[in-house]
Amino acid sequence: MKTSTMEIKAGYDIEHLNSTERIQHELWPLDAIETEKAKFPCCLVWTPLPVVSWLAPFIGHVGICREDGAVLDFSGSNFVNVDAFAFGSVARYLQLDRDQGEATAILICAVLDTLMLPSARNKCCFPPNLSGHTCKLGYRHAEYGTAITWDDALQSSMRHFEHKTYNLFTCNSHSYVANCLNRLCYGGSMSWNMINVGVLVLFKGHWVNIRSILRSFLPFIFVVCLGIFVVGWPLLIGLLSFSLLLIGWFLLGTYLVKNLLEC
């Protein structure tokens, strides 16, 4: 007996729906964020860098957290920290939603559109197979490296970066986080990079407490005050030039010379 095209399509749709529902069912509720115990489930986390953040406080070290709240961060050549955040405790965090709710999606979309970041209209894509992709980048996502759970994506990126040489200017903690988000196809996008990861945490991150704010800005204020006292106002021009050079380098490597910051 012949099978009609309509029946084949219906069967495919049912199989696709079942596989998708099965993956979504595995997204169990996360534990609450516990800042005192340094547990930040499914969060991006940030802390200031020694010396560099003293001169440019918007520059820092980032990591991404597993579903149990443990922080993973690329902090040295061939090495990804697990639950031992390099350069100090978390100062700022942003929890990411594995399955964007309607209200959350609308809010984040408005912010990301303003910041020219990838859209967050779609949830993470956890395909059990090629036909199970919920994103619109199925083949490209599969080629890049898909994951069936949040932690699976972070673990795959960890294995990838265990063979990478750390460099503050070309392959750093932001590169690792961007790789994880691309592997998750977070927000339905595979355009995550150093720039939009940094901007996302900078504009949307929450401070852990007042002490973390002071730890992030007091060294910069001290350097500025001491520099003005010793050198004078030209120091401000020097700091501004330093910041502009850093921003220019990352913008150049990310958007103009595509392979310059490939990691």
Report the pLDDT value the prediction gives residue 28, as an integer from 0 to 100. Answer: 65
Domain contains 157: yes
The whole-angstrom separation of Cα 233 and Cα 183 is 46
The whole-angstrom separation of Cα 175 and Cα 15 is 36
Report the pLDDT value the prediction gives residue 154, as an integer from 0 to 100. Answer: 94
* Mean pLDDT, rounded, of the chain: 81
Contacts of 70 (CB under 8 A, 6+ apart): 39, 82, 83
Q: Is the pLDDT of residue 144 over 90?
A: no
Domain contains 6: no
Domain contains 5: no
Domain contains 29: yes
103-113 pLDDT, tens digit per residue, is 333 334 444 44
pTM of the predicted model as reported, rounded to 2 decimal places: 0.80
Domain contains 212: yes
Report the pLDDT value the prediction gives residue 129, as an integer from 0 to 100. Answer: 66
Total domains in the chain come to 1
Q: Is the pLDDT of residue 92 over 70?
A: yes
SS3 72: strand
Q: Which of 24, 41, 23 is nearest to 32 (CA)?
A: 41
> How confident is the model over 15-32, as a mean pLDDT?
55
Confidence of residue 242 (pLDDT cuts 50, 70, 90): very high
Domain contains 19: yes
Q: Is the pLDDT of residue 7 over 50?
A: no
Domain contains 230: no
> How confident is the model over 37-60, as a mean pLDDT?
94
Q: Is the pLDDT of residue 201 over 60?
A: yes
179-197 pLDDT, tens digit per residue, is 999 999 898 888 899 999 9
146-188 pLDDT, tens digit per residue, is 778 899 999 999 999 999 999 999 999 999 999 999 999 898 8
Residue bearing the bigger pLDDT, 139 or 166: 166
54: domain range? 11-218
Domain contains 93: yes
The token pair that represents 108 in the structure block: 């984040």
